[in-house]
Chains A and B, each alone.
Chain A
């Protein structure tokens, strides 16, 4: 059982480029989340989805979009990357919204 997988592990991206970070879970969890983690700022919620077909904005949603076409996948898209989006991105899931969350291994993104 893989749990949650994220791809890519790391990426260097030129500013202005479009990028999709992938997240897949095999635990049949209803809720999924995207966070970014920056030194000194902790984990901040970007977008979330309480169930397939629904999404919501978190604390720092600007510049990011998500979709939840099915239970397992929750991709995060940067439409036009900027250097301030350099961060470590974690995907997480929980059985139900509000339950303990399980985190993927993270994607380290550098925007130059």
Chain B
């Protein structure tokens, strides 16, 4: 079976740093994606990791450890507009993505 775990909800303050964790146990692994989804909108692509290590893209970074089945998304210098759900998704090797249930991030002033 496929299992992807993320915290349901997190809160943080504007200007702070937040780390959203994702652990996975899947039948195969061909890469891990992070998507952002604002309420009532479509998911949008944030990052992709296929090898171990950190990928940095502006205020957002994503880390992967394949041996531990673990990834995190790091958001720096939080802004109010970062309030959204963050979805972790694994390419299980059959060219299909399996999504976690998402982490809702609330950023307060």
CA distance A43 to B43 in the complex (A): 10
B79 at interface, CB cutoff 8 A: no
CA distance A45 to B95 in the complex (A): 12
B residues contacting the other copy or chain, number (CB 8 A):
20
CA distance A104 to B45 in the complex (A): 12
Find out whether the CB atom of A103 lies under 8 angstroms from the CB atom of B96.
no
> Closest approach, in angstroms, between the C-beta of A55 and any C-beta of chain B?
12
Interface size class of A (residues with CB under 8 A): 20 to 34
Partner of B95, one of A31, A44, A106: A31
Most chain A C-beta atoms within 10 Å of own C-beta, residue among B30, B43, B100, B102: B43
CA distance A90 to B39 in the complex (A): 14
User: Given A90-B42, A100-B33, A101-B45, are A41 and B96 neighbors across the interface (CB < 8 Å)?
Assistant: no
CA distance A100 to B91 in the complex (A): 10
> Closest approach, in angstroms, between the C-beta of B85 and any C-beta of chain A?
9
- Give per-residue flags for A36-70: 1 if the beta carbon is below 8 A from chain B beta carbons, else 0: 00001111110010100000001100000000000
CA distance A88 to B30 in the complex (A): 27
Find out whether the CB atom of B97 lies under 8 angstroms from the CB atom of A45.
yes
- Give per-residue flags for B63-105: 1 if the beta carbon is below 8 A from chain A beta carbons, else 0: 0000000000000000000000001010100011111111000
Find out whether the CB atom of A48 lies under 8 angstroms from the CB atom of B45.
no
Find out whether the CB atom of A98 lies under 8 angstroms from the CB atom of B42.
no
Q: Which residues of B contact A75 (CB under 8 A)?
A: none
Find out whether the CB atom of A42 lies under 8 angstroms from the CB atom of B101.
yes
> Closest approach, in angstroms, between the C-beta of B30 and any C-beta of chain A?
6
Find out whether the CB atom of A98 lies under 8 angstroms from the CB atom of B31.
yes
CA distance A41 to B99 in the complex (A): 9
Interface residues of B (CB under 8 A from A): 30-31, 33, 41-45, 48, 87, 89, 91, 95-102
20 other A-B residue contacts (CB within 8 Å) besides A42-B100, A43-B89:
A41-B101, A42-B87, A42-B102, A43-B99, A44-B99, A45-B97, A48-B95, A50-B95, A58-B96, A59-B98, A98-B30, A98-B31, A98-B95, A100-B45, A101-B33, A102-B45, A103-B44, A105-B42, A106-B41, A106-B42
